[in-house]
Structure 1
Amino acid sequence: MRIGYYAHHHGSGHCRQADKLAALLPSELRQRMTVFTSLPNDAYHFSTITDEQIVRLSAEDELPDDVLPGRAGKYWQPNSLHYSPVGNEDIQKRSWQLLDAIYQRQIDLMIVDVSVEVAMLCRTASVPYLYVRLAGERDDMPHLNAFAGALGLLAPYPKALEAAATPDWVRQKTLYLDFLPNKAQSLPSFSEFIDKLMTLSENGATKQQLCSHASADKAIYDHDKANPQTSVKTHIATVIKGYGGHEAIDAKLPELRQLLPDAIIVSLGPINEEVRHCVDIAAHVDDVTPFIAYSNLLLMACGLNGIAQVYDYATPLVVLPDVRPHREQEVMAEALIERGRALSWAQFMAQTSHMDSQNGTSFLSMSDKTISNEQAALTDHQTNQAAQNFMDSIADYISVNAWFQEWLLPQLGLKPEK
C-alpha cells in the first residue's frame, strides 16, 4: 500500500514520528510513502524521507480578508471542526494540494497526525485514514468525530499511560504502538561522556570537579577488574528542554540549584540568559542519549518524543509538564507519576528536603547506580514490536480493504455495522 502521512506543523515532533514509522518499512516501500506538512524545510531534517516524498502545504493561518474567522462562534462553526476560516485562499489551496497529491500519487491510506480538519476532509473525499491519538483529554466533539470517522486509531505510547477518562470505545478502536524507537546510536563509555562534559564546560572549577570524579571512578574500576562496571560517583542533574517552550523549566533552575548545591547541573537546549548562572553547563547537543543514561537525575517536560527517549532508562525522572491544549502533557505526567516512573516537582522537592533534614543525604546520592555500557542502554534501541508489526502489515497488503478486514479489525476486536 502507498501511505500518506499528514504531520502537523506545531513543533517538529509530528514529522519525527513520521520519520520513525518510515524507518520500520522496507526501503522499497519506504520510498512510496508521502509526508504532507506545512512545517518549513529548515525546521526538521528527515533521515528516512527524501525531499521528493514531501508535499509542503500552504499555511492555514487566518487572513485579513477571510469571510469568517477560524473560530466564529456557536452558530457560525460546525461542531465537527476546531478551526475553519471561510474564504481563506491558503486553506483552499492546501486542501487542493492534499487531495490532488493523494490522487496523483495513488495514496491508499492516510495517517493523520494530527488534525481534525484534515481527517474530515479525507472522510468527505472518501479517503481511508488512521488518526494518531496523542495523550490528553480529547473528549470534545471534533476529536470524537475524527475518531469515529477513522478506520482505526494509533497511539504512539504504551497502553499503560492511557488517560483514565478515555472512553472505552476509543480505547478499543486504538492500536497502541508503544513509544516509537529512536534511531540507534552507539552509547559512549562513561569516561567518554565525562570527556564530552569537559569540552562543553567553560568553567575551570567544573572541569576540575569532573576530572577528579573521573579519576576516582577509574580507581574504583581498576580495584575490581572482575566486575566490568563503573560505580558512578559524579552527581549530574540534566535538564532537557525543547524549542516548543522552556520558560517554565528555566524558572525552576534557581530552586534546583538551591536543592542540589553540589551537583553538576547540565542544561540542554534553549535557556534564558538570566538563569544561565544557575547551571554549570548550558549546551545544545545532537544526541541526548548519553546524558539520559549517565545522569543521576533528569528534569524535563512531558513531550511525546522526549518521554519516549527516557522511558526505558532507570535514571530518576522529574517531570514539569508544559501547559498544552487538552492537558496533553499534564495527563502524560500524571500517568508516569502514578506508575512510579517519575516524580512531580513538588514530590521531588519534598523528598529532597526530607532527606537533607533527616541525615544530610541528598536525593542524588540515593540515586547512585552502577553503570556499564551494556546496562545503561536498556531497551531504548531495541525494536518496538507493536510498531513493527503494524508497519509490516502495511507492507504485506496491497489492498486497504483486505488489510482492514483481515488484519486491522481482528487486532481491534471490532466489526462495523453493515
Structure 2
Amino acid sequence: MIGYYVHHHGSGHLHRARSVASAWPGEVTGLSTLPRPKGWTGDWVHLDDDAPADGHHDVTAGGHLHWAPVGHPGLSSRMARIASWLEAARPSLLVSDHSVEITLLARLHGVPVVAVVLPGDRSDPAHLLGYGVCEALVAMWPATARVRTGLPPDLLARLRCVGGLSRFAPTEPRPRRTEEAHVAVLWGRGGDGPPEHELTAARSRTPGWTWTVLGGDQWVEDPFAALLSADVVLTHGGQNAVAETAAARRPAIVLPQARPFDEQHAMGRALDDDRWPVIVCRSLPEDGWSTLLERARRLDGHRWQGWCDGHAADRFVAVLQEAGGA
C-alpha cells in the first residue's frame, strides 16, 4: 500500500492523484485537507487545515521551510495525524504532491518519498531540501519540453518527465468547422480568471464566435465535452489545464497567471515553442481579438501528441514501482 498526499489548492493535484490511483495496481491511501473525492476506492485521511497564519509568526522557519507557522494548532494536528497514520499503516512509499514539510515527515519515518516537481524556480533551500531526500522526482511534462525548474544537476538526474497528465483520454481532433466558431475559456477554481468586463469586451469584438466560460463561478467538474467542441481554448498556464487542452487536441491561447515560484510563467515560456499548437499572451489584448483567434484556430491540434499521449499515469506508476512502491 502507498500513500498519496494531495495539496488542497485548486483541483489539479486531486485530478493527478485520482489518475495515478486508478492506474496503481494496489491500494492507495489519500491524505489531504480536501474531502474524500467521489469514486476514491482506498482509504482517505482527512487533515486539519493549517491556514491562515494570522497571529502565527515565522511561517518559513527562517527560510528553511515553506509553511510551518509557529503555534498553529492546525499544523500540529495534521502532522500528528500523518505521523500516526505512517506508524499504523507502514506504507511502502508516499507520493508528495506537493509539500516539503510532509515529504520530510514521511522520510523521517523511514518511508521513501516520490515528489511531484512543478514548473518554475525551485532552487530555494526548502525545495532543495525536500527534493533532496526523495527517491525520485516526477514532472508532468514531456522530456522534450524546455521547462525551467531551477534544480541542480544532481536532482535533475532523478527527474522523470512522464508527459502531460490528463483525466481524459486523448482524442483525434475533429475537422475544422465552417459554421460559427467556438472558443472555450478554461479556468480552474484555484485562482483568478479573466475579468468579466474583459471577456464581455472580447465577445463584443468577435462576431461569429461563441464563447463558453468554464471556471470560477461557472466551474464545471467535467469540461471535456466543451473542450472537444471548441475551435480554440483560452486558458491559464496551469499544468492540468494545459494537459486537458492537449488531450482534446485543441489549439490554445495560454495566458500565464502570477503564481509562487514563477510557476505559470515558466510553463508559458516552455509552451512558446513552434512544436506546440499554442499562442502565449502576457495579457488579454484590448483589440485584435478576431485576428488572434483566427491565428490560433489555424494551428494543428495534432501537435499536442508530443505533450500528452495518454500514458502519463502509467509512466508515473512505473516510477513509483521502481522507487520501491511495489
TM-score interval w.r.t. the shorter chain? Answer: 0.7 to 0.9
1:154 to 138, 141, 154: 138
Whether 1:53 aligns to 2:43 is yes
Which residue is 2:167 aligned to?
Answer: 182
2:156 to 167, 171, 179: 171
Deviation of 1:98 after TM superposition, in Å, equals 0.6
Whether 1:302 aligns to 2:231 is no
User: C-alpha distance in 2, partners of 1:369/1:232?
Assistant: 16
The residue type paired with residue 143 of structure 1 is: H
Deviation of 1:311 after TM superposition, in Å, equals 2.0
- Return closer, same or farther for 1:232/1:261 CA change in 2, 3 Å cut-off: closer
User: C-alpha distance in 1, partners of 2:179/2:94?
Assistant: 50
User: C-alpha distance in 2, partners of 1:92/1:78?
Assistant: 18
User: C-alpha distance in 2, partners of 1:62/1:366?
Assistant: 41
User: C-alpha distance in 2, partners of 1:117/1:318?
Assistant: 35
Which residue is 1:364 aligned to?
Answer: 294
User: C-alpha distance in 2, partners of 1:347/1:91?
Assistant: 37
Query: TM-score when scaled to structure 1?
Result: 0.67
Deviation of 1:400 after TM superposition, in Å, equals 2.8
State the Cα deviation string for residues 351-370 of structure 1 (Å, max 9, x = none). 947x86xxxxx843883699
The number of equivalent residue pairs is: 324
Secondary structure of the corresponding residue to residue 111 of structure 1: strand
Larger helix fraction of residues: 1
* Aligned ranges 1:24-43 → 2 under 5 Å: 24-26=23-25, 29=26, 32-41=27-36
Whether 1:144 aligns to 2:128 is yes
Whether 1:241 aligns to 2:225 is no
- Return closer, same or farther for 1:366/1:186 CA change in 2, 3 Å cut-off: closer
- Return closer, same or farther for 1:80/1:46 CA change in 2, 3 Å cut-off: farther
Structure 1 residues without counterparts, runs of 5 or longer: 191-228, 272-282, 357-361, 404-418
- Return closer, same or farther for 1:307/1:249 CA change in 2, 3 Å cut-off: farther
Whether 1:319 aligns to 2:254 is yes
* Aligned ranges 1:14-413 → 2 under 5 Å: 14-26=13-25, 29=26, 32-41=27-36, 45-47=37-39, 49-50=40-41, 53-61=43-51, 69-71=57-59, 77-159=61-143, 160-163=145-148, 165-184=150-169, 231-248=177-194, 250-270=196-216, 285-339=220-274, 340-345=276-281, 349=285, 352=288, 363-364=293-294, 367=297, 383-384=310-311, 387-392=313-318, 394=320, 400=324
More deviation, 303-312/313-322? 313-322
The residue type paired with residue 272 of structure 2 is: I
User: C-alpha distance in 1, partners of 2:210/2:170?
Assistant: 25
- Return closer, same or farther for 1:297/1:82 CA change in 2, 3 Å cut-off: same
More deviation, 292-301/16-25? 292-301
User: C-alpha distance in 2, partners of 1:296/1:322?
Assistant: 23
User: C-alpha distance in 2, partners of 1:303/1:139?
Assistant: 20
Structure 1 vs Structure 2 CA RMSD: 3.6
Larger radius of gyration: 1
User: C-alpha distance in 2, partners of 1:141/1:377?
Assistant: 35
Q: Contact 2:168 / 2:224 at 8 angstroms: preserved in 1?
A: no
Q: Contact 2:122 / 2:261 at 8 angstroms: preserved in 1?
A: yes
User: C-alpha distance in 2, partners of 1:392/1:89?
Assistant: 37
Secondary structure of the corresponding residue to residue 153 of structure 1: strand
Query: TM-score when scaled to structure 2?
Result: 0.84
Deviation of 1:131 after TM superposition, in Å, equals 1.3
